[in-house]
Structure 1
Amino acid sequence: MTQSTHPDQSALDTLRLIGPAPENWVPPRNGIDHNVVIVGGGQTGAAFAFALRRAGIGQVNVIDAAADEAQSGVWLNRARMNKLRTPKSLVGPEAGLPGLSFQAWYEARFGAASYAEIDRIPRTRWAEYLAWYRHFLGIPIRYGTRLTRIEPAGEHFRLHLEVRDGATVRNVVETARKIVLGNGVAGNGGPNIPAVLKSLPPAFRAHTSEAISFAALRGKSVAVIGSAASAFDAAGTALEAGAGQVHLFVRRERIASVPVTRTRAYPGAYDNYFHLPDAIRWSQARRFRVAGSTPPVDAVERVTRFPNFHLHLGAPWTHTSVRDGRVETDVAGESFAFDFVIAGTGYVIDPALRPELAEIAGSIRLWRDQYSPAEGDSDDALGAHPYLGAALEYLEKVEGDAPYLKHIHVYNPAAFVSFGLPVGDVPSMKRDIPAVVQRISRDLFLADLDAHEARIHGDIAADFDDSVYAQSVWQRDRIDVA
C-alpha cells in the first residue's frame, strides 16, 4: 500500500472520520447579528470557534483588535520565552482530536524522532501551529475590531465596536446573545505597574505586556523589576539583543522555585476544582501568592550565562528620579542609574479598569463579595477576582440586579481563584472550553424552547410505506403449500 505523503493527512483523516459539522440549529432572531461573539482571535478564539461549530452553533463571530494575523496574539509579539512553560503533552485546541494536535502537526513536518527530542514546545513552532490550525479549519477572524463597550439590552447585548480599515476608523454597533472574553492576561484588568515607576516618563520604562524595542537597548544599562517568568524572559531578550548591563531586582530573598499548583495537577482535582468549597479554593490561591510564581529553570539559566547579568535579591524599589537622561534609584543602600526600566510585575485584576466592562463592572460579584477569609488570610488582589459560575460566567453581586451577566463567559486569567489555573493558557483548554460551550448550547436551546418544542414535535416523513413488508404479513387463514 502506498502511504500518502500529504503533511496534513492525519488532520484530513480526522475531519473525514468525525464527519461534517452539524448545521446551525439555533433559530434566528430579529435584530440579532450574532449568537456568540468571541473577543480575542488568538489560540482561545480559534479553539472556541471550532468547538462551537462542532456543537452546531452558528452565527459565531471572532473579533480581534490587532490589525492583522501577524500582530494578533502574544506568541510572536509580547511573549519572549524560548519555549512554552507547559508540558508538550497537554491537550490544546484540538478538542480531543489527535489529528489536529500539535504533536500530529509537528511530526508531519519534522518527524516523530524530532518530536521525541524536544522537552517543551518552542514558542515560534507553537505560533506556526496555531496559524496552521486557524487556516486548516477555516476559522474566520475579524481583525482591526476592538470592543469598546458592552451595553446590556434585555435578552441580548449591544456591542460597541471600533473597526479599523487602514487609516479609516468606524464606530459600529452589533448585537449578540452570548459573549466569550478570550482576551488574554489583561482581559479583566490591566498591567500591574508599581507606583514607584508610574511617575517615570514613558520613554524610560515599559511593562512586559508592551512592545519593547530591545534593539534600541543595545549597549544600554537596563533594570528589570520582578521575579516571575516574564521578568526573566525580558532580561534574557535584552541580554541577547546586546544590552550593556542588565540588573534584575526581586523583592523576595529567594527566587520562587516550588510550583505549588503541581500538587493538584491530577484528574480528580483538575476536573472537579470548581466544586471545592470556597475556603479550599481561597487557600489554594493564597498558597500560590505566598509561594510566588515560579520561572522555568531554563528561563533563569538563559540570563545567568551572561557575565553582565546581575541579580538583586531582597531589593524592592522605593523611589526613582530622572537626571541627565537616566533613571536613578537607591536600592539596599546602593545607588544605581539606568537607561531603561522594564516592569515584569504581572497584572492586576479589576473589571472596572476595562472600558468595555465599565458599564457592568459594578454589578459583577467578586470574591470579596462572596467570601470572608479568616484573619490573617485576607488578600485584596485575590478578592478583586470575579467569583465565577460553573461555566466561567459572571454572577450578579445582587441577585436579580443584572441577570444578563450569566451570558458573559470569562476565559482569561481572572478565573484563577474560581478555577485554580491561569485560564486561557493551554492547561485550561481541555476542561473549560467544553464547559463553556455546553452551557452556551444549553442556554440558547432553552431560550428558544417553544421553537424547539415545535420542531421536535413536528411531522416527519416516513422512510417507507406498507408495501415494503406487505407480502410477509401473517394471514391466519393462509394455507401454506409444501
Structure 2
Amino acid sequence: MTHAHHAIDHLARETLRLLGPAPENWVPDTPGIDHNVAVIGGGQNGSAFAFALQRAGIGRTTVVDAAPDPSQAGVWRTRARMHKLRTPKNLVGPELGLPTLGFQAWYEARHGTDAYAALDRIPRNDWADYLDWYRGFLSVQVRYGTRLVRIEPVTHGAASHFRLHLQVGGQTRIETTRKVILANGVAGNGTPFVPAVLEEAQDSGFVSHTADAIDFDALRGRTVAVLGAAASAFDAAAVALEHGAAAVHLFARRDHLAATPIGRVRGYPGVYDNYHALPDATRWHQALRLRRYGSTPPADSVQRVLRHPTFHLHLGATWTGAAVAQSRVHTRVHGEDFAFDHVIAGTGYRVDPGSRSELVDIAPHILRWRDRFVPPDDERDDELGAAPYLGSGLEYREKTPGSAPWLQDIHLYNPGGFVSTGVPLGDVPSMRRDIPALVARINRDLVLADLDQHEKRLLGDVPADFDATLYQTALWSPARKNAPGGA
C-alpha cells in the first residue's frame, strides 16, 4: 500500500473514530424474514445506502447486484463513456457529509491539493477508483451475480413483507425482506427506448442502445449512425470514432443542440431541500420545462467528436423510415439517402414498470403522475404522466387507496422518480438530500411497524446505576446538626 493510501485511510479511520461506533441493530427479528432491507444494486448508491443504514442502526441489510464481479457493477467501467462526470466536482456524494470519506479527500491524498484545484470536473476513471476505495474501506458487502427477477408481496401471516425471487448461479432462490430499495440504475423503472422506426434493424442485429455493452472494435472501418443528441449519444459517437469508425453521422430531432442547462435554476437550498413539498403543478412544470429545453451535452462532449473530420451532424433530422438491405441499414433524411453498417440509439429510457420482470406483479398498483395530476392541455406529456408519483420517502404509492398498502415498503432510487424529485435519482446531485431522507423514512416505518415490541422495550426493567449506599453518608439527620461542620 502506498503512502497516499495510508494517508487517506488514516484520515477516514479517524473520522469514524470521532463519529463513534455505529449503533447496534435495534430492529427486532421477525420470524421467517431474512432481511430488514434489501438494496437492489451495488453501485455507488447501493454502497452509500449500506453505509447509511449501518449508521442508523438498521441491521440485517443485504445488497445484491446482477453483475458477476465488482469490475462489472455500476456503469463507470462499462456503459459510461464520458471522459469526465457531468456534474460539478464539489457536490456531496456517497460520503453523506463526512468529508474525509469524500472524493476530494481521496483525490488530494493521492495527487495533492493543487491537482484537485486544477480539475474542472471529476475524471470518470478516478471516480470509479474512488468508489472501489469507498466500498473496500467501509467493508460494504455486495452479493454479486445475484439478479432480482420478481418481487412478490406477502400480506398474510407474518408482518407484511416481500418474497424476492433471485437468480444465483443459474439457480432460483427465494429470500424475504421487509423493505426494498431499488437502486438499480437508469433503466430500473422501465426499459431503454428504441424508436419504432428501428424495429426491423434491431431485430436483425444492426442496432445497439447506449445502455448496451457495445463492441466498438467491431465498428472499425464502418459507417455508423447515432440517433439522439444528449450526452450519451455524443459519448457513443466519440468512442466509435476513437475506435476507427470510418464515419459517424449523428441525427438530432431539434434544429439546434440543447445548450441551456435549465435544471440549474432549482439547485439552490431553498428549493432543492424542499422540492418534495412544492405543489404538483410546480413540479410538473419544472419537469416539462426541462423536457422541452432538452438534455444538454457538456461542451467537451461535443468538442470530443468535432476533433474528427469524419463526424457529421444532422439537425432537425428525425428518421421516419429504415430498412435493412445488403447488410446495411438504409434511410432517407431531408431527401438524401444514407446507408449505415450500424445504428446506435442514444434515445434515452422509457418509464414502464410493467416491462421489468421484478415489477410485473406490482406495476398495476403503482400510482402514476397521470393518476394524480391533470395538467393544462398545453402542458400534457404522456411520458411524464407515466412516471411514478412518489411519497416523501421515495416510496411507491398505491393507485387505489387500500388496494396495495405494501407499496409503501418499496422505495425507488433511480431516475424513474425524476418528476417527483426534480433530479434524476441515482445521480450525484440527488445523494445529499435523498439518501438520508429515504433512510429516515425506513427508520420511522420500522419503528412504527414494531411499535408494540418497542413499547415493551421502553417499559422494560432498567437496572439502577447505583444504590443508596452511594450517598448514605451525606443524608441529613438531627444527629449531624451537632457534628463538626453541621449547621
TM-score range, shorter chain: over 0.9
What is the CA-CA distance between 1:459 and the residue it aligns to?
Answer: 1.1
Structure 1 residue identity aligned to 2:349: Y
Please, which of 304, 307, 314 is the counterpart of residue 305 of structure 1?
Answer: 307
Match of 1:481 in 2: 484
Match of 1:263 in 2: 265
State how far apart, in whole Å, the 1-side matches of 2:371 and 2:449 are.
29
Q: Deviations over 1:94-117 (max 9, x none)?
A: 011011001111111111111111
Mapping of residues 275-424 of structure 1, within 5 Å: 275-424=277-426
State how far apart, in whole Å, the 1-side matches of 2:258 and 2:342 are.
25
Q: Confirm whether residue 56 of structure 1 aligns to residue 61 of structure 2.
A: no
Match of 1:471 in 2: 473
Match of 1:156 in 2: 161
Structure 2 residue identity aligned to 1:397: K
Match of 1:35 in 2: 36
* 1:470/1:202 CA distance change after superposition, 3 Å: farther
Match of 1:438 in 2: 440
8 Å contact kept, 1:34–1:176: yes
Deviates more, 1:460-469 or 1:293-302: 460-469
What is the CA-CA distance between 1:202 and the residue it aligns to?
Answer: 4.6
Q: Deviations over 1:149-189 (max 9, x none)?
A: 1111010011111112xxxx110111000000000110110
Unaligned runs of 5+ in 1: none
State how far apart, in whole Å, the 2-side matches of 1:4 and 1:13 are.
14
8 Å contact kept, 1:8–1:108: no
Q: Deviations over 1:22-66 (max 9, x none)?
A: 110000010000000000010110000100000000000001011
Structure 2 residue identity aligned to 1:57: I
Q: CA RMSD in A?
A: 1.2
What is the CA-CA distance between 1:473 and the residue it aligns to?
Answer: 2.2
What is the CA-CA distance between 1:4 and the residue it aligns to?
Answer: 11
Match of 1:66 in 2: 67
Question: SS in structure 2 opposite 1:95?
Answer: coil
Mapping of residues 444-455 of structure 1, within 5 Å: 444-455=446-457
Structure 1 residue identity aligned to 2:303: E
State how far apart, in whole Å, the 2-side matches of 1:246 and 1:421 are.
31
What is the CA-CA distance between 1:12 and the residue it aligns to?
Answer: 1.0
State how far apart, in whole Å, the 2-side matches of 1:286 and 1:85 are.
21
Match of 2:249 in 1: 247
8 Å contact kept, 2:5–2:109: no
Match of 1:97 in 2: 98
TM-score normalised by length of structure 1: 0.97
Question: SS in structure 2 opposite 1:203?
Answer: coil
Match of 1:175 in 2: 176
What is the CA-CA distance between 1:475 and the residue it aligns to?
Answer: 2.3
Identity of aligned residues (%): 61
Match of 1:47 in 2: 48
Structure 1 residue identity aligned to 2:151: I
* 1:13/1:313 CA distance change after superposition, 3 Å: same
Q: Confirm whether residue 114 of structure 1 aligns to residue 133 of structure 2.
A: no
* 1:468/1:81 CA distance change after superposition, 3 Å: same
Structure 2 residue identity aligned to 1:474: W
State how far apart, in whole Å, the 2-side matches of 1:73 and 1:411 are.
14
* 1:295/1:383 CA distance change after superposition, 3 Å: same
Number of residue pairs aligned between Structure 1 and Structure 2: 476
Q: Deviations over 1:399-446 (max 9, x none)?
A: 000000000000000110001001110000011011110110111111
TM-score normalised by length of structure 2: 0.96
8 Å contact kept, 2:56–2:443: yes
What is the CA-CA distance between 1:474 and the residue it aligns to?
Answer: 2.3
Deviates more, 1:467-476 or 1:188-197: 467-476
What is the CA-CA distance between 1:451 and the residue it aligns to?
Answer: 1.1
State how far apart, in whole Å, the 2-side matches of 1:111 and 1:460 are.
52
Mapping of residues 143-222 of structure 1, within 5 Å: 143-154=144-155, 155-164=160-169, 169-200=170-201, 201-222=203-224
What is the CA-CA distance between 1:137 and the residue it aligns to?
Answer: 0.3
State how far apart, in whole Å, the 1-side matches of 2:329 and 2:305 are.
22
Deviates more, 1:429-438 or 1:454-463: 454-463
What is the CA-CA distance between 1:355 and the residue it aligns to?
Answer: 0.9
State how far apart, in whole Å, the 1-side matches of 2:354 and 2:88 are.
34
Structure 2 residue identity aligned to 1:101: G
* 1:420/1:202 CA distance change after superposition, 3 Å: farther
State how far apart, in whole Å, the 2-side matches of 1:373 and 1:282 are.
8
